[in-house]
Structure 1
Amino acid sequence: MDRLFNVQIARFHLEHRDCYVLQGICEGDEITGKNIFAYMDRERLPVKVTDLSGIEVRKKYLAKGLEIDREYFIWIKLPKEIGSYKKLSVFQKVEEEQKQIYRLPASNLLKQQNEVNFCVDAISESAGGKMSVSGWAASKDPYQIEVQDKKGTRIEAEIKFHQRVDLAGNFPEGHLCSQAGFQLEYQKPASSKVKITVSASGLKSGYTVGSSAAGKAGQPSYFTKGMAYLKRNGLERAIKRTIEKVMRVDLHIEENYGKWRKKHFISREELEEQRRTKFERRPLISIVVPLYKTPIPYLKEFVESIQNQTYENFELCFSDGSGEDSPLTDTLNELQKKDSRIKVIYTKRQMQISENTNCAIQIATGNYIAFADHDDLLAPNALFECVKAVNENPRIDVLYTDEDKITMNGKEYFQPHFKSDFNIDLLCSMNYISHLFVVKKELLKQVGCLRQEFDGAQDYDFILRCVEQAKEICHIPKALYHWRAHKDSTAENPESKLYAFEAGKRAVQAHYDRLGIEAVVTNGEYLGLYKTRFVIPNEKPLISIIIPNKDHSADLDKCVQSILTKSAYPNIEFIIVENNSTEKETFAYYSKLEAEHPCVHVVCWKDVFNYSGINNFGVRHAKGDYLLFLNNDTEIINNGCLEEMLGYCMRPDVGAVGARLYFEDNTIQHAGVIIGFGGIAGHAFIGSMREDNGYFSRIICAADLSAVTAACMMVKRSVFEEAGGFDESLQVAFNDIDFCLKIRALGKLVVYNPYAELYHYESKSRGYEDTPDKVQRFNREANRFLAKWPDILEKGDPYYNVNLSLDKADFSLKV
């Protein structure tokens, strides 16, 4: 984003339909009525500029990956006869020059002027053809909704209206009706297509639900979303977005990685300094490489990258599995003559990958064994960084580095993979470690060499066996390994390598079997990703679901009913912590709920609001060995939600488990917490689309993290007590993150499980941090959190790579 005003939303004033509103942001000069100019054709229009600032604006734009504290509203007074003009143009004055920031044909303005501000967030279809549509409409008066088939015949629909507090920031004129949100259900007609019409105050808008409208997980169709994105952002950005979605490639990272590499590339002076470095420990590193009819130019480039290492105490151990009459023999003999550190073992028969690699291991005499492929490249400081780490911590048994890809001609680097520190649950979801992988020779002897029965995923199986036995595992956050690949192709058809993915699944299953953990491993959302389902014993442990609540009985009912109707888990209790409600309907609802469901217990907290204190109080009334902390404005989506969380939580090494949460519009609200986001901590991938994978599929893979949100968090009761519960000095903010860090300090894992999915209608219950007292409290609690955890804030989150930005939630490169 440049210094120009960036329009996020364009609409009409809720009440005054001769006023057009541009809502947006600007990282440059302050936006005022003096530097914004609006015209209908050449007629200048009156303009007023207002702004909003503070915590809620910051949260909102962090969700979009932007560090923004102020949002502007440009109010434009339109002429009476819009139809007699051709277009609206808006300009910003920058350095004495007027630059256009917005343009809209008058015909579009006329159409919008007669429409309700209306949005469909989600569409789903259940068994039996029952359709559910949710969204919102912004108007100053209550609005009506009508559903018709394509012939115009009215369709009976059940419509529920509810609050949408989250919309308040978009409509500062303050005339938004209280029940802006809606959810409607109707029976899908034979004609399939249905038109939803919203009308209010003489305005009307329509939305057509087609036969394929209910997409994955009940979202509006890709076509509908794509057209909306095109309308908001223009053709160029829409095309880029389409490529990103189809190819699952982040073009922003691709475009910037070349520039990033130039900025961070190790200099010649630094390389010379490394060559002069004298380490106390100078282990011999054996680089083992299986060869199979390798193209000679690639082989020579690989060898050259090894010979250019700034750490020179290595040996390069080749096993040529090409078989009799190998095309590599002459080249290998020549290389050996020129460099005594190159060793080669030949066989007369062709060999598969595991056997071939094991032959190379047999001739290795080093203290550490490094694994590499025959046509890839190592950065010149790769071995130096490994030896440096071993000198700093001699207990290290396993090392791995970050990696990227290099084009076949060796001229361009792309797809950098900046990895997490050791992350066993991410490793069981995919082989994220891959290259460069280095293991101490003693550990290799202990676990054994590569196993032929896992060919295709032999490295995955080997890595899992190594990390199971390693005393210390070191991650070096530098892209020291360059994997040669075609940049513009989708590689080989994945279906052709089904044997490799099947081997990977068996490797993860074997890992659990060795550890005595009852689990079933299946393929994940894409080939190469894996899902673990932990076996829950026949005697199901009691889960105590603790839900704080103040009024908002409709939200609470939706939350409770979603569990009672969707989850089949048999052994639960609800501890609803009543927190100073004032509405009679709330207490009537409590009585009804307890009468109808013996598993529901309402307990009363009579002190001032304190999220930590309320939850600690709830635990004192709970009987379960597992505690599920749940906000009253959540709704579970998948039937196995509780089992998904419980399965991980039952593991002895796990203390807490979090879930994947969505806003009502099916964007990501929570996919884990990263320490350092926004200066303190924030949600990973907030604002991403529900169907997004995230950086190297991190949204859709189970993984260990430093923290998860307590809006939905399961904890072992024993761990809760050992950690001392929630810190009651953190009344509202950071208490869940602080609690997770206390669990981590006990040596327990905090796991993000994307297969437990819920909606989180955030901020409905407590509203926004929009008063001086709330802001002061927030700052006070932020300072306490910073004082309690200075080390992790200084060193960085171990599950988030230092090369990635803390200013955005999408794992972008740090600029």
Structure 2
Amino acid sequence: MNETKTDLSYYYKSLYESEQKKVEDLESQLEESEKEIEELKFHLDRIKSSFVWKLSKPFRGALHVYERTRDRLRRYGNVRGILRKIRSKMREKKAASRIHGTKSFPNPEEAQRQQNEKFSRDIKISILVPLYNTPENFLREMIDSVIWQTYQNWELCLADGSDDAHKYVGEICREYQKDSRIKYKKITENLGISGNTNICLELATGNFIGLFDHDDILHPSVLYEAVKVICEKNADYVYTDEATFEGKNINNMIVLHFKPDYSIDTLRANNYICHFSVFDAKLLDKTGLFRSAYDGSQDHDLILRLTTAAKNVQHIPKILYYWRSHKNSVASDINAKTYAIDAAKRAVQDHLKQCGLEAKIESTRAFPTIFRLKYKLTAEPLISILIPNKDHKEDLSRCIDSILNKSTYQNFEIIVIENNSTESEIFDYYEVIKKHPQIQVVTYNGEFNYSAINNFGASFAKGEYLLFLNNDVKVITREWIEELLMYAQRPDVGAVGCKLYYSDNTIQHAGIVIGLGAHRAAGHTHYKEPKQNLGYMGRLCYAQNVTAVTGACLLVSRSIYDEVGGLDESFAVALNDVDFCLKIRKKGYLNVFTPFAELYHYESKSRGLEDDKAKAERYNEETARFRERWKQELEAGDPYYNKNFSLDYSDYSLKLE
């Protein structure tokens, strides 16, 4: 008997050492491949700067169209399906332009009502506009849009750095000075965007400040709406939604940007706030205005500083700013001002330093000024990976093999929570994996209850962090644990979730929105979109704050898990992860979705989703109870999902009623 045990021990030890050697060999191959990739990238960059590459742009464009068509065919089944989708989007865009363009302007009666409304505070808004060689029609339309404001307590501060060939700029401004609220100063030399705007500030006497570009247009009610929020919610920083238009008519919108409520991780990765902001002038005592070193991305730099200093940032989910796209504008092409990319990176880096954070910042495929932040890990704590399981040996082995063979982060333990398995092969597999020093198998006796099973597993966990993981996932990203931990390690962050794909390379999870879907409880955004989709305004390309992430892959610190009381066991099948995330949010923590931790999710074999009457009834009961528990939050709407989006679709389709 002892000889048998010794033989088995030697066998498993040899097997483990053999597998470890394979892993080390693969890691060496990977390092060599990464070096080759860097070398190829260098050569690719040289090719892209060549004349031949530029000449081939039309052909590459055709290839891009082909690839997009192929992806759409995969999603919509046939050309007819694609055409239906295109027609639907065209109708949506046309309807949206009607709703959010000039049709949204107040009629004479409403304009008079807004003009006569009395507010609880005396708010004077100084609108700062740096001028430089502004085309005459742009200049007049910009000034007129301020004069036509329904809220009257404003002043327009114009600092003109135009050259001698554009003297008409000053002449037009002096013409408008018949309105005493318009202040103008000619600058002897152009000081750039930041310097010219700082001159505007010297003219300002308002207790709130608004920043306005010289070639854009304000909605007539934007100041009224801002003052209303300032007074009703005691806000010291307010921002609005915006639209980009081209040509002479603001109704010719090419992009409608409906934004989330204040979201610091989103803002670090992407200056989503942009236009239009109104803020308490006292904030400038702490932050100062523009810094010339960040010209080109001076807005991103300032917004990061102001919102960090502000006590109450509020968002108005209405398009109240119209950003003109023309050949020299960033709205038209970021390459018209390439220095903006470097300035934006430095602005984010400076902001992070002020917050005691350190990260490497890289441009993403979505846009040069949409960033991937790679935070430095402050420690390498033990992470307990909890995997509930019943039978499905193939799924579980694939999951565990991918963790062991692909993860670059090594300080983890795996706790498999066995629940009601009946197949002999799974118990044989348990005996094998229990030999691994990082794996243990514990048994939960009782009927399936996702929350109870994971809470039970957590009682065995030794880690500082808990990583809830489904048994039917497979790791793609080697640094997946680091990508999750870099956010979870922050004291202001609660749950962190990854990006999950189905086996057909469509998206299963990219963050959860409460209220989305047929049951109006919660749903996944960008659901079933192709893997390479950039997402709405590039959202699939950067880490961002969300209300909830899926429990199929969710990292949280043990301390926060304990603080919120773990998973609620009354949610046995449905919405337990969303309920958990909402409890975390209620405690004041942020939840984060990152697209840089990627896994496959073979969801077809998930527990608790079988098609039988009892489970369907339980699902409906839990959904109803979720809606009742979080009624207030559902009525308020998901703060990271603009109320102008439809709750019937996951692809950020606009609500058009």
TM-score range, shorter chain: 0.7 to 0.9
Does the alignment pair 1:555 with 2:395?
yes
1:689 counterpart = 2:530: yes
* Match of residue 451 from structure 1: 291
Tell me the amino acid that sits aligned with residue 443 of structure 1: L
After TM superposition, the structure 1 = structure 2 runs for residues 731-810 of structure 1, keeping only pairs within 5 Å, are 731-766=572-607, 768-810=609-651
Residues 322 and 351 in structure 1, CA contact (< 8 A), matched pair in contact too: no
The match for 1:621 among 446, 455, 460 is 460
Matches within 5 A, 1:151-166: none
Whether the aligned pair in 2 keeps the contact of 1:693 and 1:699 (CA below 8 Å) is: yes
- 2:570 aligned to 710, 722, 729, which one? 729
Matches for 1:423-442 after TM superposition, within 5 Å: 423-442=263-282
Answering whether residue 318 of structure 2 is matched by residue 472 of structure 1, we say no
Q: Kindly report which structure 2 residues correspond to 1:538-617, keeping only aligned pairs within 5 A, or say none.
A: 539-595=379-435, 597-617=436-456
Which residue of 222, 247, 259 corresponds with 1:408?
Answer: 247
Aligned partners of 2:643 and 2:103: how far apart in 1? 12
Task: Give the alignment partner of residue 179 of structure 2, picking from 339, 342, 348.
Answer: 339
* 1:392 corresponds to 2:232: yes
Deviation at 1:263, TM superposition (A): 10
On the 8 A contact 1:404/1:413 being kept in 2, the answer is no
The yes-or-no answer on 1:281 pairing with 2:121 is yes
| Cα distance per residue 1:355-392 (max 9 Å; x no partner) | 01111011111010000001111001000001101111
Alignment of 1:151-190 (within 5 A): none
Please give the secondary structure, in 1, of the residue aligned with 2:540. Answer: coil
2:80 equivalent to 1:234:
yes
Q: Which amino acid aligns with 2:186?
A: Y
Q: Contact conserved, 1:550 with 1:578, CA < 8 A, in 2? A: yes
Q: Is the 8 A contact 1:548 1:578 kept in 2?
A: yes
Instruction: Give the CA deviation at 1:413.
Output: 3.7
Question: In the alignment, is the contact (CA less than 8 A) between 2:573 and 2:608 conserved in 1?
Answer: no
3-state DSSP class of the match of 2:360? strand
More helix, by proportion: 2
- Conservation of the 8 A alpha-carbon contact between 1:574 and 1:600: yes
Contact 1:545–1:630 (CA under 8 A) maintained in structure 2: yes
Cα pair distance change 1:370/1:556, threshold 3 Å: same
Partner SS, residue 428 of structure 1: helix
8 Å CA contact 1:477–1:802 kept in 2: the answer is yes
The code of the aligned residue for 2:465 comes to Y
Code of the residue aligned with 1:753 in structure 2: it is T
Change (3 A) 1:446 1:383: same
Q: How does 1:82-231 map to 2 (within 5 A)?
A: 225=71
SS in 1 for 2:499: strand
What's the CA shift string for 1:164-212, capped at 9, x where partnerless?
xxxxxxxxxxxxxxxxxxxxxxxxxxxxxxxxxxxxxxxxxxxxxxxxx
- Are 2:356 and 1:516 equivalent residues in the alignment? yes
Superposition deviation, residue 438 in structure 1: 1.2
Q: Which moves more between the two structures, 778-787 or 258-267? A: 258-267
d(CA) in 2 for partners of 1:501, 1:406: 23
Structure 2 letter corresponding to 1:465: R
2:509 corresponds to 1:670: yes
For the 8 Å contact 1:477–1:803, the answer to whether it is kept is yes
Q: How has the CA–CA distance of structure 1 residues 520 and 276 changed in structure 2, closer, same or farther, with 3 Å as cutoff?
A: same
Q: Secondary structure of the residue that 1:785 maps to in structure 2? A: helix
Q: 1:650 to 1:291 in 2, by over 3 A?
A: same
Q: Is the 8 A contact 2:326 2:332 kept in 1?
A: no
Whether contact under 8 Å (2:151, 2:221) holds in the other structure is yes
Counterpart CA distance in 1 for 2:648 and 2:431 is 47
- 2: distance between equivalents of 1:374 and 1:263? 20
Note if contact 2:330-2:336 (Cα within 8 Å) is conserved in structure 1.
Answer: no
Secondary structure of the corresponding residue to residue 513 of structure 2: strand
Structure 1 residues 628, 229: CA separation in 2 closer, same or farther (over 3 Å shift)? closer
In structure 2, the CA distance between the partners of 1:738 and 1:227, relative to structure 1 (3 Å rule), is closer
8 Å contact from structure 2 (residues 266, 544) kept in 1: yes
- For 1:237, the aligned partner's letter is L
Deviations 1:693-745 (A, max 9, x none): 11111122211111110100000110000000000001110110000000001
The 3 A distance-change label for structure 1 pair 392 and 238 is closer
SS at match of 1:551: coil
Q: Which has the higher contact order (CA 8 A, sep 6+)?
A: 2
Alignment match, 2:26? none
- RMSD over equivalenced CA pairs, Å: 2.7
2:143 corresponds in structure 1 to: 303
CA distance in 2, matches of 1:573, 1:648: 20
* Structure 1 CA distance for aligned equivalents of residues 280 and 145 of structure 2: 22
Q: CA deviation at 1:407?
A: 2.2
- Conserved 8 A contact 1:805-1:811: yes
Check conservation: 2:575, 2:626, Cα contact below 8 A.
Answer: yes
Say yes or no: does 1:639 pair with 2:466: no
Which consecutive residues of structure 1, in runs of 5 or more, have no partner in the other structure? 1-125, 131-214, 245-249
Query: 1:422-455 CA deviation, whole Å, 9 max, x = no partner?
Result: 0001101110000001111000121111000011
Equivalent residues in 2 for 1:252-291 (5 A)? 253-261=92-100, 265-268=104-107, 269-291=109-131
SS at match of 1:461: helix
In structure 2, distance between residues paired with 1:653 and 1:230: 41
Aligned to 1:97: none
Counterpart code for 1:613: A
Shift of 1:271: 2.0
Q: Distance in 1 between matches of 2:647 and 2:459?
A: 37
Task: Give the TM-score normalised by structure 2.
Answer: 0.86
Residue type of the partner of 1:685? Answer: H
8 Å CA contact retained: 2:330, 2:337: no
Residue in structure 2 matched with residue 292 of structure 1 by the alignment? 132
CA contact (8 A) 1:229 1:238 kept: no
In the aligned structure 1, how far is the partner of 2:583 from the partner of 2:81? 48
**2:490 alignment partner AA:** R
Matches within 5 A, 1:327-366: 327-336=168-177, 338-366=178-206
Helix, strand or coil: the match of 2:274? Answer: coil
- Alpha-carbon contact 2:73-2:82 (below 8 Å) kept: no
Aligned residue type for 1:384:
Y
Secondary structure at the aligned position of 1:698 is classed as helix
Larger radius of gyration: 1
Query: 1:367 is matched with which residue: 207, 221, 234?
Result: 207
- Which residue does the alignment assign to 2:153? 313
Q: Is 1:715 aligned to residue 556 of structure 2? A: yes
Kindly state the Cα deviation for residue 772 of structure 1 after the two structures are TM-superposed: 1.4
- Cα–Cα, structure 1 residues 770 and 230, in superposed 2: closer, same or farther, change >3 Å? closer
Structure 1 length normalisation: TM-score? 0.70
Percent of aligned pairs with the same residue? 46
How far the C-alpha of 1:809 sits from its partner, in A, is 0.4
Displacement of 1:563 after TM fit? 1.2
Which 5+ residue runs of structure 2 have no aligned equivalent? 1-28, 34-62
* Corresponding residue pairs, total: 593
Kindly tell me: are residues 811 and 585 of structure 1, through their superposed partners in 2, closer, same or farther at Cα, counting changes over 3 Å? same
* 1:204 counterpart residue number: none
8 A contact 1:548–1:614 mirrored in 2: yes
Counterpart amino acid of residue 210 in structure 2:
A
Aligned partners of 1:706 and 1:799 also within 8 Å: yes
Is the contact between residue 660 and residue 755 of structure 1 (CA under 8 Å) also seen in structure 2? yes
How far 1:814 moved relative to its partner? 0.5
Structure 1 residues 564 and 506, CA, compared in 2 at 3 Å: closer, same or farther?
same
Kept after mapping to 1: 8 A contact 2:102/2:251: no
Shift of 1:256: 3.1
